Amino acid sequence: MSKKHFTSFTIILVSIMAFFFLNLILGTISIPLRSIWNIILNTGEESLIWQNIIWKSRFPQTITALFAGAGLAISGLQMQTVFRNPLAGPSELGISSGASLGVALMILLSGSLGGIALSKVGFFGEVAISFAAIVGAFVVMGIIIAISQRIRGNVILLIIGVMIGYIANAIIGVLKFFSNDEDVRAYVIWGLGSFSKVSGDQVYTFAGIMLVLIPLSFLLIKTLNLMLLGESYARNLGLNIKRSRLYVITCSCVLTAIITAYCGPIVFLGLAVPHLCRTIFQTSDHRILMPAVTLAGASLSLFCNLIARMPGMEGALPINSVTALIGAPIVISVLFGKRKNEISE
């Protein structure tokens, strides 16, 4: 690792720690810094309300943002590498649309057929919605994997994934048309994305799953580097293209499915972070890029969560609005920078 890379990693790590503590400190309710330290260190007798705010709201939300950002960034990097497409992201194969369809069927049909708004059931409703999102995402993932075993072209697979997304969105549109306003509103709010949906024991389950999936994704670093060389050259080096593509797509889809189930569809993080890291580190080597996007994704996600619930604001902004406002300019600036370099050369 070069000195420049080491410096960049250090800056990103410092930003993660800074944003992590700022997420605990800042919020709509002002809590003295000393009281926050006492709550974290379990020293002193602080207000029970303040303790609940830190441990049952801000801490789970911060942990969720950290792991969701890291997972989406890894998924985005894998998708862009396997499809050799700079605009590929975690949602391009229709996984997010599948999760959204599962949630739509659960929320909208529960109100239309059962007469009970699932969003009003409380904890049971939240668990049911998460389960529906996982089922929907994994059904689409199964379809994509089955198709990937039958066709060789990455572009065709990508187009099929986009078409599956359109079909899912069309079904969701029909369900919205025949559903009552309360159910539609509950679904729309879920679709805006939020890191605050994971609370209580759910955050430990989510963190545990991500602590398994993220290290497993690092096992694909060598495979991803070989894929950069092109299929013919990689095959000559002994890489089984069909099997390797299956592994990468499966890893990316599982990460996206789990994060979407717990947080809703989060846009632009998976698309923007790989571009940002390639610009910062000036390399395509996944031995550098994989840890880079993991850390940068966590940092950017924490920053977006911080912006979404800045002090002085009632409630919180939809996280998708914040990630789009931050992620879109990043992608545009990187693409313009690349174009400028090509012209100068």
Cα torsion 197, 15, 70, 262 to 10°: value is: 0
Alpha-carbon distance of 183 to 186, in angstroms, equals 5
3-state secondary structure 3-58: HHHHHHHHHHHHHHHHHHHHHHHCCCCCCCHHHHHHHHHCCCCCCHHHHHHHHHHH
Q: Structural domains in the chain?
A: 3-344 (1.10.3470.10)
- Asked whether residue 227 carries a pLDDT value surpassing 80, the answer given is yes
pLDDT band at 313 (very low <50, low <70, confident <90, very high): low
Q: What is the mean pLDDT of residues 204-233?
A: 88
| DSSP structure string for 157-207 | HHHHHHHHHHHHHHHHHHHHHTS-HHHHHHHHHHHT--STT--TTHHHHHH
What is the sign of the dihedral through the CA atoms of 61, 66, 72 and 73? positive
The DSSP code for 73 is H
Q: What is the mean pLDDT of residues 35-49?
A: 79
Say which residues have a Cβ less than 8 Å from residue 74's Cβ, sequence separation at least 6: 214, 217, 252, 255, 290, 293, 294, 297
Alpha-carbon distance of 273 to 282, in angstroms, equals 14
pLDDT band at 1 (very low <50, low <70, confident <90, very high): low
Q: What is the mean pLDDT of residues 80-91?
A: 79
Alpha-carbon distance of 227 to 245, in angstroms, equals 9
- Asked whether residue 105 carries a pLDDT value surpassing 90, the answer given is no
Quick one: what percent of the chain has pLDDT higher than 90?
17
Q: How far is CA 15 from the centre of its chain?
A: 19
Q: Measuring CA to CA, which residue among 107, 101, 104, 105 is closest to residue 125?
A: 107
Q: Measuring CA to CA, which residue among 56, 50, 20 is closest to residue 198?
A: 56
- Asked whether residue 117 carries a pLDDT value surpassing 60, the answer given is no
Alpha-carbon distance of 177 to 214, in angstroms, equals 39
Q: What is the mean pLDDT of residues 302-320?
A: 76
Alpha-carbon distance of 210 to 214, in angstroms, equals 6
**Per-residue pLDDT tens for 130-156?**
788 888 888 888 888 788 777 777 778
pLDDT band at 53 (very low <50, low <70, confident <90, very high): confident
